[in-house]
Structures are given as C-alpha cells and as structure tokens.
Amino acid sequence: MSINCGNMKSNISIKQAEKNSACFILITFLLILFLLIFAPMFVSSQETIWNDVQVYNNISYFEDGSKEEIESLQTNAHLLDIYQPEDCQSCPVIVYIHGGTWVLGDKGGPSYKAKAFTDNNNIYISMNYRLSPDYVFPAHAYDVARCFAWVKRNIYKYGGDPEKIFLLGHSAGGHLAALIALDKTYLAEFNLLPSDISGVIGLDSAAYHLPSLFTAEPENQYLFSWAFGDNLQDWEDASPVNYVIEGITPPPILLLVAGDRGVSETVNQNFYKLLQYYGYDANIFYFSDEDHVSIDYGLGKDDDPVFPILLNWINGLLK
C-alpha cells in the first residue's frame, strides 16, 4: 500500500488556509464593528465635526410592530440614525445599509460617508437590521423594506424629500438593497413599489448571485448557512439576479467594485450585463486600488476616488 504524502500535505494546507481565511475575515469584520461603534468615543468634540449637522440617534423604524414584536428584537436591531444638514429643505436622502455577511455589523457613528453626504446637502441615514443566526433570511430584507417605508413616511419632518430616497449598501447591505429594489414582495408588504426608490448603490457586494459567492468562499459556509440555510433553491430565491426580468420598473442601479476580490468582479459584471440586456438603467465602475474594506470605510475621505463618482451619479438622477 502506498500513501501519497504530497497530496495529503496539500489537502491539509488547503484546509488550514481555509480556516485561516475564515478567521481573518471574522477578525476583520469584528475590527470594523469595533471602529464603527467606538470610534466616536475617541473624538474630543462631536460638535466640532458636526457643527452644521443635527444628529438624531436611535430612532425606531419598527413603529408599526406590536410591543411583543419590538421586545423580542435584538438590541438596537430596529434603530436608525439621521444626520440632517443645517437648514435642510427637501434634501435628497441616503439610507446606508451596513455589511457583515448578514451576521455582523452596526449602523455605527460619525463617519466619512455621513460627513461627505451632509456636506453636499444630503440627509444621511444609517440603519441596523436583524442579524443571523438569531434571525434567518428574509428577516434582513424585510427590515430594509420596513426602514425604507418609515423614511418614506417620516423624512419630511427632518427636511428630507420622500421622492428622493437612495439606498446605499456595502457587501451584504448591497445585496439587501438590490433585492428589495428588484423583488417587489418586500416593499409590497408596506404598500410600496421598487419604483419608489430613487436609486440603489452597491458597494462591492458579491452577493447578487448567492450560489456564486458561496461556491467561491467555502471557508465562510457556516456564516452563509446561518443566514440562508443549506438549500440551493433558497439561495437562488434570495439572489437579486433572478428578479431581473421584463415588465418591471426598478430604480437605477450603480455598482461600485473593489479590485481585491475575483468573485465580486465576476458577480458584478454578470449582474451588470443582465441589467443592460433587459434595458435597465445601470452603471458599473471598478477601483483597482480599493479593497473590500476600504471602498466602504474610506468612502467620502478627501482622497477617495469613489465618492465623486457616486455623488455625480446621484446628482445626475436628480436633474
């Protein structure tokens, strides 16, 4: 009997690499979560940063839920923050949906994104949503739809224009934004249509076709299973690409892709081609010097190449 030690060593190395990769991704997301939550505590004066912006923290968008439903939610899962520019009247509104493989993340605190949008006379909203494994799909998508409905009904009180609401999602958040913009099921629950969304921006999401993402990153399978289970058909049903069909009127879609993830480039390119084929209003841009984290965390910094393109796209739609 012969033993191929070379193959055995190779298999062990691959498994170890997968474990290391999974650990790295988990640690990275935990670090981002820490920075988002606690970074504001290290700022000497929030008024210095937001001297021309009114911040409304921890507003519940779950106002139509029963007391029992709200009490059963994860802490802060149903809350949003509003950043309102000074003297805002009929301002466009940006609703930010964080990433984190549907199991991590938080709406965070002051960020480059919030400051950049408010500096350009946009209301910026950052939302939380229920996370797995405590809640499985489609809870996350219904939360985004519920939040959008709340903003649609209430943003006029803060000087926002309910006819100019954009969804901006990073990673898993980009998936959720695209899904409620293409599958009318979620917004229909709140008597709204995908066409009520003014536009959708996806920041380096590789989840527009979930089976492609799950196959490319088997080291994260346990995270994906927490959110979507292990049934291939369920993954397809939760994939935005499968709702790109004739006869619907989705909002314009902007895809922004970082250069460090092959699966993201592939999925975004295929998604974009499909959108184009059916005549949807879609644009795609690649940023070779950005990675999956920096394209989100650095959005709006002085030297950021992504934000000007995003802002020009929004302003073009508002003309």
Query: Per-residue pLDDT for the chain (319 aa), expressed as one digit of tens each?
Result: 333 333 333 333 333 444 444 444 454 444 444 444 444 333 323 333 577 899 999 999 997 665 666 666 667 899 999 999 998 999 999 999 999 999 999 999 989 999 999 999 999 999 999 999 999 999 999 999 999 999 999 999 999 999 999 999 999 999 999 999 999 999 999 999 999 999 999 999 999 999 999 999 999 999 999 999 999 999 999 999 999 998 788 899 999 999 999 999 999 999 999 999 999 999 999 999 999 999 999 999 999 999 999 999 999 999 8
pLDDT at 166: 98
- How far apart are the C-alpha atoms of 278 and 216, rounded to whole Å? 27
Residue 213 · residue 243 · CB < 8 Å: no
pTM of the model: 0.84
List the one residue out of 99, 82, 195, 80 whose CA is nearest residue 140.
99
H-run or E-run covering 126: strand 123-127
pLDDT at 43: 32
β-partners of residue 95 are 125, 167
Residue 107 · residue 169 · CB < 8 Å: no
Domain limits of the chain? Answer: 5-318
Expressed in angstroms, the distance from the first to the final Cα of the chain is: 75
Paired tokens of 95: 């609703």
Residue 159 · residue 89 · CB < 8 Å: yes
H-run or E-run covering 287: strand 282-287
List the one residue out of 235, 233, 238 whose CA is nearest residue 225.
235
What dotted CATH number matches 5-318?
Answer: 3.40.50.1820
CA distances from 18 to 15, 170, 198, 216 (A): 5, 24, 40, 11
